[in-house]
A and B are shown apart, each in its own frame.
Chain A
């Protein structure tokens, strides 16, 4: 799966949620959710399926608190598709490959970097969060125990997580400037991924399929 061209992976990850919202509920959402969760499972239980289910679970809880069961199922399946598609694409698409593909397709390196950075933000935040947990543990904070103590721990983790990320943004901006990520110069693609004709056709097929489904639903 990870050998596919980055644009193909993105097209699949975008088409599934689109179809989940366009196709009639609950069958359309259920079908899209099954496919999305199946794709997430191909990335591995720990890297794909489990994070997708964990990401979707809070939405189901909130929906149940706000709506009846039928509405919860309808919207829940759609949100599950979105979560699973995003988790899957983050798991199987290395940001450097996406940058290479976008630059080879004529996008500016800055835009490609910004786009790819959103994919790499999740694992980076996770790693930083783990470091902060270790740091706060050294200072006597316990992130385990009952709900109240977990909430206290969350407050002690969230603030440094956000502040350190904001601080690092400045330094990273400086570093990228010094490493030539400036407007007006076209980056040389070092190893652009191969874009096969079959994949291009499949991408157009997905786009046309979504458009056709939308027309069918409106009509």
Chain B
């Protein structure tokens, strides 16, 4: 089932003449992870804000085209978005990590036992149960990032939007979050993630959308991350880049496993 659909969407931030998104069409179905890749300023973050119903509703600006998200009429929590700076996403109204994760579910007016169930599950999935009694203000950037992701997951969103969710994490933490995104999609949710972690994306995502200057420059399966054009633009995976630089024949492998298979 298509969860999110953008049809010919253009978006202008307030008091700007040039659109941040121009004629973007995109669909994300339940059960899949779609990566948005591109250079800084390509429009990936803006696309997430539009998909999350924050632009133009909260940010202002002008939207043309059509954005539809199936099944979100039942509550604000059905679309969850993780923004790139975890410290600005803290509620400021929680003295423990448990309370911080429960902030969203409580705002949705859920019964207490349901809140407890969702919070415990989210803490467990993000592997931060030992932090439950800590003051969020004392956490490291990586710990905070995971707390914020847990806070969004605890709201049980049907569509999960993530903007650079691994930016603050060490390699092990980043792998855990990617595994989580994959598992979340396999539970039937739709996941749209803007990322510059192309090597990890190549292992996890189902589809890739390449944005340039607010427009879709290309879309396809994860093998797009090993396409010659993307490698030339500096947006290919490390393995594909090395393969290309070595002058080996296309198509390039996107991941180490694929490269090993090709050599074998």
Contact = CB atoms under 8 A, between A and B. Distances in A.
A179 interface: yes
A198 to B, nearest CB: 26
A178 B83 contact: yes
Interface in A153-201: 168, 170-182, 185-190
Interface residues of B, number: 37
Contacts, number: 90
A71 B218 CA distance: 75
Interface string B212-239: 0000000000000000000000000000
* Overall SS of chain A's interface: helix
Nearest to B103: A179
Nearest to A185: B109
Contacts of B109: 185-188
B59 A188 contact: no
Nearest to A112: B93
Contact of A175 (B89, B94, B106, B155): B89
Nearest to B96: A96
Contact of B83 (A94, A99, A109, A175): A175
Nearest to A109: B107
Interface string B62-99: 00000000000001110111010100111111110001
B151 A179 contact: yes
A179 to B, nearest CB: 4
B94 A185 contact: no
B107 to A, nearest CB: 3
Contacts of A42: none
Contacts of B107: 109, 179-182, 185, 187
A212 interface: no
B52 A178 contact: yes
Interface string A78-117: 0000000000000000111001000000000100010011
Interface of B: 49, 52, 54, 58-59, 75-77, 79-81, 83, 85, 88-95, 99, 102-112, 115, 151-152, 155
Sorted nearest first, the 7 A-B pairs with minimum C-beta distance are A180-B107, A175-B89, A171-B88, A179-B104, A182-B76, A178-B81, A188-B106
Interface of A: 94-96, 99, 109, 113, 116-117, 120, 124, 168, 170-182, 185-190
